[in-house]
Chains A and B, each alone.
Chain A
Amino acid sequence: MPRYVVPRQLVYPGDPIATTDYEVSGPVYIDNGRYRSWCLGLVEVRDERTINIVPLEGTYRPKVGDTVIGYVTDVLAIGWELDVRAPFSAYLSVHDAVLKPIDLESVDLTTLLNIGDMVVARITDIDVTREHPISVTIKESNLGRLEGGTLVEISPVKVPRVIGKKGSMIGVLSMLRCDIIVGQNGRIFVKCGDVRDEAFLASVIRRIERESHTTGLTDRIKETILKYLSERGHQ
């Protein structure tokens, strides 16, 4: 039974990938005994029988357990409505936001989080029948309100590239000694000691997004950062 693609081939929506006796993962669907791509993607042939399609475009699909970066769009009676870049809104209840119980009668929620405030949160539940289908918490280590820093928005399907295989890319980025928080929803928060480093890091992340489908990207990014660091060192 045939395979219709070669390694690193660009595939388009509807392109046949292989017959269903192959193992095909990624953005694909089955039509008449054949896997077809459902978006623009690159072919990754893992072995004789296994193919993966890496999407080049895609929207954020929230999953329970995802770490996401969101901002407050409304302050409600006992919680906040958040935008997490999903097709539906998220809800952060007071219980999932503060460690100690607070007296809702006396505490103004806007003093804790106000409209426009940014948080890094984890998705705990999704139920599309609710008014706010996504539930999130910030009551864990590494979660909570974000202050200062710069936010970079990239396509959510490019997030794995910013992290890299076994964290290789994020390892390269950490040479700049900045805080980097990567949301699965394609929002990336960076905060450096030096504002120039922050601007540089943001531009590097945008470049990773732009060149995500090319080979040898990690090495090129590493080169760029080393060059930047050595030039900065001379200043």
Chain B
Amino acid sequence: MTKAPPVPLLLGGKRSDGRRPDEVRPLEMEIGVITNADGSAVVSYGRTRVVAAVYGPKEAHPRHLALPDKAIMRVRYHMAPFSTKDERKNPAPSRREIEISRVLREALEPSVFLEHFPRSLIDVFLEVVQADGSTRAASLTAASLALADAGIPMRDLVIGVSVGLINGTIAVDLNSLEDQYGEGDLPIGIMPNLGHITLFQLDGSWTRDKLVEAVRMAYRAVGEIYGAAREALKKRYFEAVQEVT
């Protein structure tokens, strides 16, 4: 199944982009980038960049979609036509994007107190503007930060990371080369305070031990990304302090 990559994925303990297996790419996060939205965030994992916007809670339209005892959530994950390295991506929603929209919604819903807003709607829009692997993991983090920015009540943030198997070694935060040529990919989303896993997808070929180890590694990587997420939220408030003191 596995085809040979154009460059070695792992050489002398270093990955093709120079990282150690357990090393996350440089992270960039900024909150409140879309002033029109109730909440927004832009999140970069290396070259992968996602813009998230949250609108709501607002009246649910069409009304027949509304639930009497809680808010409904609408999640759209979409890749910009110019976001891919090779050919232009057709902007029409693919089956992959529809499925990812669904798994991201299922990953966010356990974190949000939807029952606080019966009959209303919370919109979460995710646009991948530049893709270099781990787009759904970065989207999840961006969505969660935008929800926090919107002040929507939530049990915890949800932080996404992908863990993969390259040349038999477990590595975190896969880039697109590793995603394409590695032996396995495990995108995972974790609520850091509660320790709950809300996104869990996997493909490849994993023994039990490697898989259990990969999940443990995901928790560690999530801890690091969560630290950056907290910093980003803090920056939104405590830059204002510096302005005035």
- Do A and B touch, yes or no (CB under 8 Å, in the complex)? yes
The residue that A211 contacts in the complex, of B150, B154, B234, B240, with Cβ under 8 A, is: B240
A 120-150 binary contact with B (CB < 8 Å = 1; else 0): 0000000011000100000000000000000
- Those of B142-183 within 8 Å (CB) of chain A: 148-157
Are A38 and B244 within 8 A (Cβ)?
Answer: no
Does B7 make an interface contact (CB < 8 A)?
A: no
Render A27-39 as a binary contact track against B, CB cut-off 8 A, 1 for contact.
Answer: 1010100001011
The answer to whether B233 touches A40, judged by C-beta atoms less than 8 angstroms apart, is yes
CB contacts under 8 Å to A, within B30-61, are 38-39, 56-59
- Contacting pair A87 B151 (CB below 8 A): no
Q: Once the chains bind, are B148 and A87 in contact (CB under 8 Å)?
A: no
A209: nearest chain-B partner, CB-CB: B240
Stretch at the interface among B94-102, B114-122, B197-205: B114-122
Q: Is the CB of A14 within 8 A of B191?
A: yes
Taking CB atoms and an 8 Å cut-off, the chain A residues in 189-235 that contact chain B are 210-211, 213-214, 220
List chain B residues, Cβ under 8 A from A56: 151, 237
Residue pair B120, A12 in contact (C-beta under 8 Å): no
Assess whether A14 is in contact with B153, with CB atoms less than 8 Å apart. Answer: no
Known pairs A210-B240, A211-B240, A213-B237; A133 contacts B119 (CB<8 A): yes
Given contacts A128-B119, A210-B240, A214-B241, contact A40 B148 (CB under 8 A): yes
Q: Is B194's CB under 8 angstroms from A14's CB? A: yes
A73 to chain B, nearest CB (A): 10
Q: Is B16 interfacial (CB 8 A cutoff)?
A: no
- Cα distance A39–B155 in the bound complex, in angstroms: 8
- List A contacts of B57 (CB < 8 A): 59, 87
Chain B residue total in the interface (Cβ 8 A): 38
Q: How far, in angstroms, from A15 to B68 measured CA to CA in the complex?
A: 30
Q: Does B223 have its Cβ within 8 Å of any Cβ on chain A?
A: no
Q: What is the CB-to-nearest-CB distance from A43 to chain B, in angstroms, rounded to a whole number?
A: 14
Contact A220 to B244, CB < 8 A, known contacts A36-B193, A89-B59: yes
**Roughly how many angstroms separate A38 CA and B38 CA in the complex, as a whole number?**
17
**Interface pair B155/A211, CB less than 8 Å apart:** no
A70 on the interface (CB 8 Å rule)? no
Which one, A13, A31, A211, contacts B157 given CB within 8 A? Answer: A13
Residues on B with C-beta less than 8 A from A38 are: 113, 153-155
Binding site for A on B (CB under 8 A): 38-39, 56-59, 68, 71, 111, 113, 116-121, 148-157, 191-194, 230, 233-234, 237-238, 240-241, 244
- 8 other A-B residue contacts (CB within 8 Å) besides A87-B57, A129-B68, A213-B237: A39-B152, A40-B151, A59-B151, A59-B152, A87-B71, A155-B151, A211-B240, A211-B241
